[in-house]
Structure 1
Amino acid sequence: MTPVTPAFTDAEAHTRETFLALMWAMSYPGRVHTLPTPDDDTLAAFQAIGDTLLDLEVSYYTPDAVLNRHLQRTTSRFLEPSQAGYLFFPSVGEDHIAELAQAKLGTMLYPDESATLILGCTFDGTPITLTGPGVNGTAPITVGSLPAAVWDWREKTRRYPLGWDIILVAGNQVIGIPRSTSIEMG
C-alpha cells in the first residue's frame, strides 16, 4: 500500500515557496529570486515574507501601519527597532535611518541575535558589487530607492560575525545580502 501524504494547503504552499526563495537568496547573495506574489505588489511580498519568517518566538518592527496590521496576525511581538529581530521597511527614506541604525548587531557570544532588515527598493540605480561566501568571484547588482546612508551604516557596523542580514525586495523579487557578504559601491 502506498502511503498517503497530505497535500499542502494553498497557504502552506505559498509559505513554502516564499521560504525557498528567501533561503536561496541568502545562500547565493546577488542572485534575484522570485516570490509567489503579484509582480508589482511590494506590500504583498512583505506580507508573504512576514508570514514565512514570523511566529510567536520572534519579534519585528515596521513603521508601516498597513503592514503592521497584517504582521500582527503572525502572533510575533512588535518591538522597538533596537530590540526587534526583523525590521520591515517597505520603503526607506532618510527619515528611517535613525530607526535602522538601532537594529541589533548581535554579540560575539550570540551573533545570531542580530537583526534581519527587509528593505523595499528597486533593482536599478546604484551599482554595487558583492563578494564573499556564496558568491562566485563577484556579483554585480544595482539598487535604487535606498539612501546611501543605509550602506554607509552597514559597512561601519559590520564586524563579522556581527552585523545585519539584509533582504532587498523589489516587487516580487528578492536579493539576499548576508552579514558575511562584503559590498563595494560604484
Structure 2
Amino acid sequence: MSTPWTRRSARRSLADDTRGRAELAEWERIAQLLADAATGTAHDPDTDPHVQEELAAEAAAAAAREADLREAQRIAARADELEALREFGTLEQAEPREGDEAVRDELTRRAGSYVQTDVDAWLAHALAAHRGHYADPAAREAAAGLLPPPVLAHAALLAELARLVPDAGPGQLVFAARLTAADPEAAADLAAFLTRATGTTDPAGNQA
C-alpha cells in the first residue's frame, strides 16, 4: 500500500516534466469525473466527452496532414509535367489548370527562387485570354490573390492590347513582357489607363 509520502513523491516526480504534468492533470480530471458520478461508476473512454474530443481532434489533424501530403504530391507531379512541356517547347499550348499558381511557386522554389519568366508569361497569356480554368470568372478573381503583381500586370496589359488589336499574334505582343519586366507598376498603370479610356473589362472580367 502506498503511503501519503510515496503518493506525494509520485506527484512531484510526474510534475517534473511536461508529459508528466499532462498525465497528472488527466488522472486528476478522471478522478474528479468519477467523484461526481454515481458510486461504482467505472471510467469509460467511449463515453468520456473529453477523450472523444481529443480523438476527434487527432483524427481531424491526421486527415489534414493526409490532405496536405496529397496536395504536395499533386503540385510536384504537375510541376514535373510543366517542366517536361518546357523542354519540348510546348508549354504555350498547355491549358492552365486549377492550382497552377501553387505549381508556379514550386517551380520557382526548385529554381532557387529564380523567377520562371516563361511560366509567368504562359500564365499571363492564359489569364488574359481566359484559357483553361481561367474561363471561370471565379478563377480569374482568385488569381488576383495567388499570382504576383508582375504576372497580373502582364495579363492586364495583354488583355487590353489584344482588344485594341484583335488580330495581333503572340509574337507581336512580346514587348508587353519586356515592359512588365522593366516596370511592373508602370505596366499595370498603362493597362488600367487603357481600361478606363475604353471602358473595357480587366482580365478578371470586372468592368472598369
Question: Which TM-score band (shorter chain)?
Answer: under 0.3
Q: Which has the higher helix share?
A: 2
TM-score by length of 2: 0.25
TM-score by length of 1: 0.27
- The higher-RCO structure (CA 8 Å, 6+ apart) is 1
Q: Which structure has the greater CA radius of gyration?
A: 2
